[in-house]
Structures are given as C-alpha cells and as structure tokens.
C-alpha cells in the first residue's frame, strides 16, 4: 500500500531508540491500561505513540481520554490498517 493511497495517515519516520528495563516495565503498564479499552495496542511503537500522546497533553495542561488515544493510535497504524483492509477485500 503506497502512501499516496493513505493521505490521511501521518508520515512515518523510522528511528532507533534505546529503552531501559524500567521503560519497558512502564510500557507493560500502559499496555495493561489500554487493553482494558478493547483496543489492540500491543506493539512497542503503538504503546510509545500512546505514551507520547498522553505526555504531550499533560505537558500542555490538556485533558485526555485513554480510549480516544488508543483508537487514534490503532487507526493511524499502517500495519493495523492494512490488516483491516485485507479482511474487507472479497
């Protein structure tokens, strides 16, 4: 699926990050919270994006809804979207 077919998806940038064991434990906690919403937010990239969204809103004094963030992260994930499109094809 080319990026031109997905105009509403954000541009993806690949970066290498280093996480500590504490970071990974916090990601596990985020996964547990998000799994209660019924969203499939299990990959590290989705979890990190959800955490970034929450942190950004907190830093700017904005309220946030965990379910709304989970839905946004899943909706914007290219792999999730391509799986959904593949399931819809006859």
The full 3-state SS of 12-33, as one line of letters, equals CCCCCCCCCHHHHHHHHHHHHH
Q: Does residue 9 carry a pLDDT above 60? A: yes
Report DSSP state, residue 61: T
CB atoms within 10 A of CB 65: 11
Span 45-70, pLDDT tens digits: 889 999 999 999 999 999 999 889 98
Higher pLDDT pick, 9 / 2? 9
Model-level pTM greater than 0.85?
no
Q: Does residue 2 carry a pLDDT above 90? A: no
pLDDT (0 to 100) of residue 20: 93
Report DSSP state, residue 43: S
**66-to-6, 19, 47, 84 alpha-carbon distances in Å:** 25, 23, 12, 22
Domain ranges of the chain: 21-88
27 φ, ψ (degrees, to nearest 5) = -65, -40
Q: Which of 76, 65, 9 is nearest to 34 (CA)?
A: 65
């Amino acid at each position: 699926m080319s990026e031109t077919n997905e105009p509403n998806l954000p541009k993806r940038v690949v970066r290498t990050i280093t996480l500590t064991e504490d970071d990974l434990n916090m990601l596990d906690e985020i996964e547990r919270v998000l799994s209660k919403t019924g969203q499939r937010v299990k990959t590290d990239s989705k979890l990190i994006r959800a955490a970034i969204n929450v942190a950004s809103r907190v830093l700017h004094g904005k309220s946030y809804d965990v379910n709304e963030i989970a839905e946004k992260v899943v909706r914007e994930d290219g792999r999730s979207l391509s799986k959904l499109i593949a399931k819809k094809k006859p």
